Amino acid sequence: MKKLTRFLSLAVAAGCAMLFSQTQVNAAESTFDTVQKRGHLNCIIGNSFVGFYTVDDKGTWSGMDIDICRSVAAAIFGDKDKVKFNSVQWAQSFTSIKSGAGDLLSKGMTWTLSRDSSQGLDFLDTYFYDGQGFMVRKDSGIKSALELKGATVCVLTGTSSELNLTDFNRTNNLKMTPVVFDDASVRNTAFFNNNCDVMTNDRSGLAAARSTAPNPDDYVVLPETISKEALSFAVRQNDSTWANVVKWTFAALLEAEELGITSKNIDEIRKTSTNPVVKRFLGLEGDLHKGLGLPADWAYQVIKQIGNYAEMYERNLGPDTALALDRKGTLNELWKNGGLLYSKSFR
């Protein structure tokens, strides 16, 4: 009898422990809850990447990554400015999210297997398709990356660029010597001061660096693209509630472009459209917002305040910007124009 009583006691204790553990899991707040209670979003970005994140002399941030963060703030609060930007070095990017210092990582980060599986992050979507290249001084006469044998190469440490450089170097037996930096601005200065023969980075990054050179026309980006660089945003791992809010906010930017809705015409469309797809997207019909825990007009707020993806691209990266990156004919076009970008179904 004593043995049976002891067995039952242990079973009850074990059951209580499991219940307590489950209660702890259920009580754990999503980042979404934390952000709502705090009243603003904390976004992790880098120091300076023209077109993606850069700050002016008044302390105002702008760029593609900045707009992604602001779009999430607009979705949650109806106010794109309810976001604080935390600029960190590359080495602190992952720990800033894992530690809770940031809610969203949006800083031109390439989505890779190792980062996705071993850094405590969940990458959610790709907002810019890029590839790594090389930039040299025009007077060097170099026309191809295969002519870089023995060159010194400025590269940012801890990045996929550094690893890709190693692979390209070994594959082609070029015997290049990496010169590593942990700050992009220092790397750029070193290159422009002739401390390296070459700079390597994503091609968009090279265009950004070239735009800040004393004489941009003195430099040329070589034709080779040596990698696939899917620039993506990420959140802390295993938080689907928060991940859904962020990834569907980005989907709204694409959906609006597909539907022909812009920041300029959205009010008129909202008043007059009879299209059920449009009405559902803008929260005039249905209850899609409930599954996200957002207001019914969340997508309207995003597009009204930020614009659609095309507006965001043209404002930060397009032909009339310092980067002058024409979207036409690239992977960054919508799927119906031959690109890789498309919105999942708002249904």
Residue 301 maps to a domain:
yes
Return the C-alpha torsion angle 307, 311, 312, 316, nearest 10: -140
Q: Check residue 23 and give its pLDDT.
A: 33
3 state SS of 202:
strand
326-333: Cβ within 8 A, 24+ apart = 330/129, 331/129, 332/128, 332/129
Specify if 117 maps to a domain.
yes
Average pLDDT on 253-261 reads: 98
The tally of CA atoms less than 13 A away on the side-chain side of residue 342 is 8
254 and 330 housed in the same domain: yes
Inside any domain, residue 342: no
Higher pLDDT, 48 or 34: 34
Domains held by the chain: number: 2
Which amino acid, residue 233?
F
Residue 195, phi-psi category: left (phi > 0), alpha (psi -120 to 50), beta (remainder): alpha
Classify burial at 16, counting beta carbons within 10 Å of its beta carbon; exposed 0-12, middle 13-18, buried 19 or more.
exposed
Which range marks the domain in which residue 61 is found? 32-130+230-337
- The single residue listed with the structure tokens 């600029």 is 87
**Distance of alpha carbon 3 from alpha carbon 281, whole angstroms:** 63
Q: Has residue 293 got a pLDDT over 90?
A: yes
Instruction: Please tell me whether residues 73 and 188 are part of one structural domain.
Output: no
| Cα–Cα distance for residue pair 230/126, rounded to 1 Å | 6
pLDDT given for residue 2 in this prediction: 46
Neighbours of 208 (CB within 10 A): 26
In CATH, what number is assigned to the domain containing residue 175? 3.40.190.10
| Alpha-helical segments (H) within 47-91 | 64-77
- For residues 307 and 256, what is the distance between their CA atoms, to the nearest angstrom? 8
Q: Are residues 313 and 237 part of one domain? A: yes
Residues 221 and 235 in one domain: no
Q: Does 104 map to a domain?
A: yes
Q: Which among 227, 261, 296 is the end of a domain?
A: 227
pLDDT score of 26 more than 60: no
Q: What angle do CA 50, 161, 71 make, to 5 degrees?
A: 40
* 222 belongs to a structural domain: yes
* Rounded Cα distance, 93 and 98, in Å: 9
Q: Which of 227, 243, 262 is the last residue of a domain?
A: 227
Q: Which of 194, 212, 227 is the last residue of a domain?
A: 227
- Give the tens place of pLDDT for each residue, 171-224: 999 999 999 998 888 999 999 999 999 999 999 999 999 999 999 999 999 999
Whether 3 is covered by a domain: the verdict is no
Q: Is residue 5 part of a domain?
A: no
In this prediction, residue 108 carries a pLDDT of: 86
Q: Is the pLDDT assigned to residue 1 strictly greater than 50?
A: no
Residue 160 to residues 110, 113, 216, 303, 322: CA-CA distances in angstroms? 7, 11, 25, 33, 25
**Mean pLDDT of the residues in the chain:** 91
- Local confidence band at 48 (pLDDT 50, 70, 90 cut-offs): confident
- Structural domain includes residue 76: yes
Whether 14 has a pLDDT exceeding 50, the answer reads no
Give pLDDT tens digits for 60-98: 999 999 999 999 999 999 999 999 999 998 778 888 998
According to the 3-state scheme, what is the secondary structure of 120-138?
Answer: CEEEEEEEEEECEEEEEEH
pLDDT tens for 262-271 read: 999 999 999 9
Residues 224 and 120: their CA atoms lie apart, in Å, by 33
What pLDDT is recorded for position 216? Answer: 94
Give pLDDT tens digits for 298-330.
999 999 999 999 999 999 999 999 899 999 999
Distance between CA atoms of 38 and 211, rounded to whole angstroms?
Answer: 38
Ranges assigned E (strand) in the chain: 41-45, 54-55, 61-62, 83-87, 104-110, 121-130, 132-137, 152-156, 177-181, 198-202, 219-221, 229-236
